[in-house]
Amino acid sequence: ARRLVDVGQRVKAGQALAELDASDVALQREAAQAQLASAEADLALAKSELDRYQQLLDRQLVSRSLYDARKSQFEAAQARVRQAQAQARVSVNQADYAVLRAPADGVIAQRLADAGQVVAAGQTVFMLAENGDREVLISVPEQSAADFSPGRALAVELWSAPGKRLPATLR
């Protein structure tokens, strides 16, 4: 729905990078809450029925099998409440995913989606270059490869900063 940062921008861990359209997630959360309320109402009814049948069983007015059936319904209602609670927690988690956040401090190196674009779960939206050492890929002629051994100290000069040499170590 909204892109909050651009390529080259420095970001802090936890900073919001983009917001997804949360309307579907909100509807799922509302549906999960409604299912939980329904399951809790069913549990209350099943508990009331179980208590009533317990009293009738104590007075020997119903068979043990009828009481056992009510007890089974009560236990099933308890299980449905636990399931609905878990679904409600999942829907809350999904709502948190509607805001994409930076996992670490760094610089946005690449943007792979724009506002208005449909993205799938797990799809990469930004590439983040985390703070710390940077890697530079340099191609060298095959006949010169022996001159470049790992651990060797180098100086790197970027096209964007001519004349400025940066210390480097060959990996």
| Predicted confidence (pLDDT) per residue in 67-95, tens digit | 999 999 999 999 999 999 999 999 888 87
Question: Per DSSP, what are the bridge partners of residue 126?
Answer: 111
The residue type of 55 is Q
Q: How confident is the model at residue 114 (pLDDT cuts 50, 70, 90)?
A: confident
Asked if residue 88 lies in contact with residue 37, where contact means CB atoms within 8 angstroms, the answer is: no
Once rounded to an integer, what is the mean pLDDT over residues 116-131? 88
Residue count of the chain, please give it: 171
Q: What is the per-residue pLDDT for 164? A: 95
Mean per-residue pLDDT of the chain? 91
Q: How far apart are the C-alpha atoms of 154 and 141, rounded to whole Å?
A: 17
Instruction: Name the pTM for this structure.
Output: 0.57
Q: What local confidence, expressed as pLDDT, does residue 95 receive?
A: 77
Q: How far apart are the first and last CA of the chain?
A: 41
